[in-house]
Amino acid sequence: MKRILTLATIVWLEMVRRKELYVLLILLAALLAGLLSVDVFGLSGITGYAKDVGLLGVWLLSWILAVNISVRQLPQEAQRGTLFSLLAMPVSRLTLILGKWLGAWSGVGFALICFYLTLLAGVWLKGGGFDANTLVQAILLHGGALAVVCALGIALSTRLNRDAALVTAYLTTGSAFLLMPRIPAMLAGTRGLESISLFGAYYLLPHFELFDLRRRLIHDWGRVGWFLIGEILLYAFLMTVVFLTLAWLGYRKRRFSRGDVL
């Protein structure tokens, strides 16, 4: 565990010293400031639109951060040559994968809390607020979704180069988020191979829509049962384990040579 935590700390330090989090926070704050200053049709007292756009911003920024950070971890170790120093120490490849995932996820998780706090401050300044229980549930589920995104990003980067892994991760997670809820309706009008592919995608890709409580937060519908939250988090845990296992299978026998450094 000490080795996994050490590797995770490196990911954290890099994220902080590269100032990625600050850039995204400034972007979110700018977005919120823009929303707060808008007073079209005398709607300045209504906070729903600020919540809606702000939550969308939080989801987009955390998604971008999670994909970028997770996908670059393993390829950049090989590219800059530090991989050889790491693997020459008693660090197994599984430890390396787990350390990188934990670092990416916890770093993005910390950023997520900062994003929500910024949003909360923005909405509060506008005179609105969120139901505390629903907000905690939303953050927990959002964190669960990001754990899956980070694991998927790392799994892709074990076999693809950084750019290819980045594009594939964006396409996979983006289409999973947008397409999944529509698949049952689409299945009704399809047959044969098309139907089989949609059916396969429905069961193979992660269901990110399960983690999205934005509607509840915006319209103050109240919290969901905690048992259901537990079930969804268990689903996130299982998906994360599946992707990290795939990452390990793709990485455990991978041969590294001087060419990887150049």
Binding site for other proteins (CB under 8 A): 2-3, 6-7, 9-10, 13-14, 17-18, 80-82, 84-92, 95, 252-253, 255-258, 261
* Helix/strand number for the chain, H first, E second: 12, 0
Q: CB–CB of 195/187 below 8 Å?
A: yes
User: What is the smallest separation between the CB atom of 103 and other proteins, expressed in angstroms?
Assistant: 12
- CB contact set of 203 (below 8 Å; sequence gap of 6+): none
Residue 217's Cβ-side half-sphere holds a number of Cα atoms within 13 Å equal to 28
Question: What is the C-alpha separation between 220 and 131, in angstroms, rounded?
Answer: 7
User: What is the smallest separation between the CB atom of 80 and other proteins, expressed in angstroms?
Assistant: 5
Q: Which is nearer to other proteins, 6 or 195 (CB)?
A: 6
User: What is the smallest separation between the CB atom of 254 and other proteins, expressed in angstroms?
Assistant: 9
Q: Which is nearer to other proteins, 191 or 258 (CB)?
A: 258
Q: Which is nearer to other proteins, 191 or 255 (CB)?
A: 255
The 8-class DSSP code of residue 40 comes to: G
User: What is the smallest separation between the CB atom of 123 and other proteins, expressed in angstroms?
Assistant: 35
Q: CB–CB of 122/50 below 8 Å?
A: yes
User: What is the smallest separation between the CB atom of 90 and other proteins, expressed in angstroms?
Assistant: 5
Structure tokens at 99: 């350390």
Q: Which is nearer to other proteins, 238 or 249 (CB)?
A: 249
Q: Which is nearer to other proteins, 116 or 251 (CB)?
A: 251
Residue 102's Cβ-side half-sphere holds a number of Cα atoms within 13 Å equal to 16
